[in-house]
A and B are shown apart, each in its own frame.
Chain A
Amino acid sequence: MTEHLKSSRFAHRRMRHVRERIIESLLFLAAFSSVAITVAIVVILVRESLGFFEHVSIIDFLTDTQWTPLFDDAHYGIMPLVAGTLVTAGVALAVAIPLGTIIAIYLSEFAPHRVREVVKPVLELLDGIPTVVYGYFALLFVTPLLQYFFPELPGFNMLSAGLVMGVMIIPYVSSISEDAMRAVPMHIREGSYAMGATRFQTALRVVTPAAFSGIAAAYILGISRAIGETMIVAVAAGMQPNLTWNPMEPAATITAYIVQVSLGDLPHGSLGYQTIFVAGLTLLLMTLVFNIAGHWLRRRFREVY
């Protein structure tokens, strides 16, 4: 009788143990799926790109100044797309980084509690609005507005797309920078105030350097976002590859090119189909470079309070 009870209790405990193990394994698989996704991204981009590089030399890809894969006289130089991407991102960051940083410093060090509670969520809405809506705004509101000042500005141009993208990225920069500044312990600030520093001096000379690694992370995220942004540039900057550093001109970015090709009807496995994967790989590598730079910066300037 007791033997029986013991063994049944033992069986029950074993069951429980097995069930716990199964659940843990399933949960692990779910977590591991993120790694699988990364691997899948790399495998697919690299596989299609390898197919591409069987036909196009990597030298041509990097040095040719034209990108006309869909023409009869096909050229496969990525430079024009990279230039378009860098110019639009550059314009966007010229807006987002100064404004985002100023807003972060203001909200963290100057603004009364109430103002921060209201302004922060409102600014974060900027990030919540669909990018295609921003595209509309850039093409049909900002460009006409700019044309009022610069009559020769073409209907598609990188300036307007970049400016609007910059405003969209502001909350990325300001939110994360502000969090980093607010994480600076109060006793460091008190040290500065006790020396007779003003708010501005404390913010600029003590809090900002102390939060540097967090602010750098915010910038890196903003940069990645600007490089990878698609719809605003696809709608407002034009889709013609154009090797120029002048933001007043139209030009396609890497992302806009992918959209343009996807809208058409390219047969699976064709060279044209493969070009969008090469473009995607280039884009991924560009964001990777900035992310690695960001990691390096953070490690080098990690704050120890």
Chain B
Amino acid sequence: MPGMSVEVMRGLIARRKRWDIIFSIIGLFAMLGGVVTLVALIAAMAIDGLPRISWDFFTSFPSRHAAKAGILSAWVGTTLVMMVTVLSAVPLGVAAGVYLEEYATKNWMTDLIEINVTNLAGVPSIVYGLLALGLFVYQLDLGQSILAAGLTLAILILPVVIVATREAIRSIPGTIREGAFALGATKWQTVSQHVLPYSTAGILTGVIIGLSRAIGETAPLITIGALTYIAFLPDTPFKGEFPYVSFDWLTSAFTVMPIQMFNWVSRPQEEFHYNAAAAGLVLIVMTLIMNALAIYIRYHFRKRIKW
């Protein structure tokens, strides 16, 4: 037998295969490290925060007395800011994604835009805060308002929405478009009546992932000067009398969940740390629900649609 005898070979293989096992164990421990940290983090939040969670916690304003303080202004603020974010990021991001996938021809401008979107995704979030501070707060004079905050987060998640839209559109086979064109549809008809409806699930997944990121973002909003002590609610968007809707809330000062939590964490008194943990718990549950929703939608639609 050329090379080596079977016995030598078996010894060699046994030694080499030991590394397979050693590495498998290291790999398992590495994963376990990540998972254990996640569990420890959620457990730490739950142990400190759960006792503070009550109806009052959601319906009270922040207060100097830790035991009386709540997150009413924070969750209302988060909801309103997210509304602005969705209403501005989704149309813009989807339109940009549609353009890049369906309309753009291969030229330097398209390359520039594509490189740009990739790079924007890598810009630290606090830099967006500085942009918003210079542009929205002072240049456009929006002040430290819900509108400015919503737009800031919209810019932040724009790359996520664009990329999700492009991926969703790309997964639609060309035959669908050809089918529509063959019936005499224009490009926009094809896009609006076929391409977009079929890619809704993918886009929605991306939007939810983007929002779950935006909801926890703190730094850019601190940068634009979001106040941390807000003991009032913005003007309500819906009115009893004509014209029934109002946009005054857009210019209102605000706070959001993560900023409220940051405020409590930074206080020296331990009682406020429990409030922080409770707020953190609410935040984690919100992001987990959104992530689960995204996974569900992706899974559900992947199963339903088979090209």
Contact A40 B131 (CB under 8 A): yes
Query: Does any Cβ of A come within 8 Å of B72's Cβ?
Result: no
Q: How many residues of B contact A (CB 8 A)?
A: 86
Query: Does any Cβ of A come within 8 Å of B96's Cβ?
Result: yes
Contact A132 B280 (CB under 8 A): yes
Query: Does any Cβ of B come within 8 Å of A92's Cβ?
Result: no
- A111-131 interface bits toward B, Cβ cutoff 8 Å, 1 = contact, 0 = none: 100000001011111101111
Contact A198 B19 (CB under 8 A): yes
Residues of A within 8 A of B124 (CB): 224, 227-230, 255, 283-284, 287
Do most interface residues of chain A lie in helix, strand or loop, or is the interface mixed? helix
Contact B287 A128 (CB under 8 A): yes
- A196-209 interface bits toward B, Cβ cutoff 8 Å, 1 = contact, 0 = none: 00111101000000
Residues of A within 8 A of B217 (CB): 130
Instruction: With A16-B186, A136-B280, A255-B124 as known contacts, state yes or no: A37 contacts B24, CB within 8 Å.
Output: no
A280 partner, pick from B30, B126, B273, beta carbons under 8 A: B126
- A274-305 interface bits toward B, Cβ cutoff 8 Å, 1 = contact, 0 = none: 00110010011001000100000000000000
Q: How far is the CA of A33 from the CA of B112 in the complex (A)?
A: 12
Instruction: With A133-B284, A200-B19, A235-B266 as known contacts, state yes or no: A33 contacts B122, CB within 8 Å.
Output: no
- B94-105 interface bits toward A, Cβ cutoff 8 Å, 1 = contact, 0 = none: 011011100110
Q: How far is the CA of A257 from the CA of B92 in the complex (A)?
A: 32
- Of residues 128 through 169 on chain A, the ones whose CB sits less than 8 Å from some CB of chain B are 128-137, 139-141, 164, 167
Contact B125 A37 (CB under 8 A): no
- B207-227 interface bits toward A, Cβ cutoff 8 Å, 1 = contact, 0 = none: 000001101111100111100
Q: How many residues of A contact B (CB 8 A)?
A: 81
Residues of B within 8 A of A230 (CB): 124-126, 218-219
Residues of A within 8 A of B45 (CB): 133, 136-137
Residue of B nearest to A103 (CB): B30
- B127-168 interface bits toward A, Cβ cutoff 8 Å, 1 = contact, 0 = none: 111110111001000000000000000010011001000000
Query: Does any Cβ of B come within 8 Å of A195's Cβ?
Result: no
Contact B38 A122 (CB under 8 A): yes
Q: How far is the CA of A143 from the CA of B33 in the complex (A)?
A: 17
Binds B, one of A23-31, A52-60, A65-73, A241-249: A23-31
Contact B262 A110 (CB under 8 A): no
Shortest Cβ gap from A55 to chain B (Å): 18
B122 partner, pick from A28, A44, A106, A287, beta carbons under 8 A: A287
Query: Does any Cβ of A come within 8 Å of B1's Cβ?
Result: no
Q: How far is the CA of A231 from the CA of B126 in the complex (A)?
A: 10
Contact A129 B287 (CB under 8 A): yes
Instruction: With A129-B216, A133-B280 as known contacts, state yes or no: A103 contacts B31, CB within 8 Å.
Output: yes
User: How many residue pairs between the two chains, A and B, have CB atoms under 8 Å in the bound complex?
Assistant: 252
Query: Does any Cβ of A come within 8 Å of B291's Cβ?
Result: yes
Contact A200 B280 (CB under 8 A): no
Instruction: With A31-B104, A45-B130, A141-B40 as known contacts, state yes or no: A263 contacts B188, CB within 8 Å.
Output: no
- Of residues 207 through 236 on chain A, the ones whose CB sits less than 8 Å from some CB of chain B are 221, 224, 227-231, 234-235
Contact B155 A37 (CB under 8 A): yes
Residues of A within 8 A of B23 (CB): 105-106, 110, 199-200, 203
Query: Does any Cβ of A come within 8 Å of B120's Cβ?
Result: yes
Shortest Cβ gap from B210 to chain A (Å): 11
Shortest Cβ gap from A100 to chain B (Å): 8
B24 partner, pick from A99, A110, A131, beta carbons under 8 A: A110
Q: Which of A26, A167, A203 has the most CB atoms of chain B within a 10 A radius of its CB?
A: A167
Contact A123 B37 (CB under 8 A): no
Residue of A nearest to B15 (CB): A198
- A27-51 interface bits toward B, Cβ cutoff 8 Å, 1 = contact, 0 = none: 1101111110110110011011000
Q: How far is the CA of A27 from the CA of B98 in the complex (A)?
A: 7
Shortest Cβ gap from A240 to chain B (Å): 14
Contacts A130-B217, A167-B34, A258-B126 known; 4 new A-B pairs at CB < 8 A: A110-B23, A167-B33, A231-B218, A280-B126
Nearest 5 A/B pairs, CB to CB: A228-B124, A130-B216, A106-B27, A30-B95, A44-B134
Residues of A at the B interface (CB closer than 8 Å) are: 16, 19-20, 23-24, 26-28, 30-35, 37-38, 40-41, 44-45, 47-48, 99, 102-103, 105-107, 110-111, 119, 121-126, 128-137, 139-141, 164, 167, 170-171, 198-201, 203, 221, 224, 227-231, 234-235, 255, 258-259, 262-263, 268, 276-277, 280, 283-284, 287, 291
A selection of 21 A-B contacts at a CB cut-off of 8 Å is A19-B188, A31-B104, A32-B113, A37-B158, A38-B116, A44-B130, A47-B134, A106-B31, A110-B20, A110-B24, A110-B27, A121-B295, A123-B35, A128-B291, A132-B218, A139-B265, A140-B48, A141-B40, A259-B126, A259-B222, A287-B124
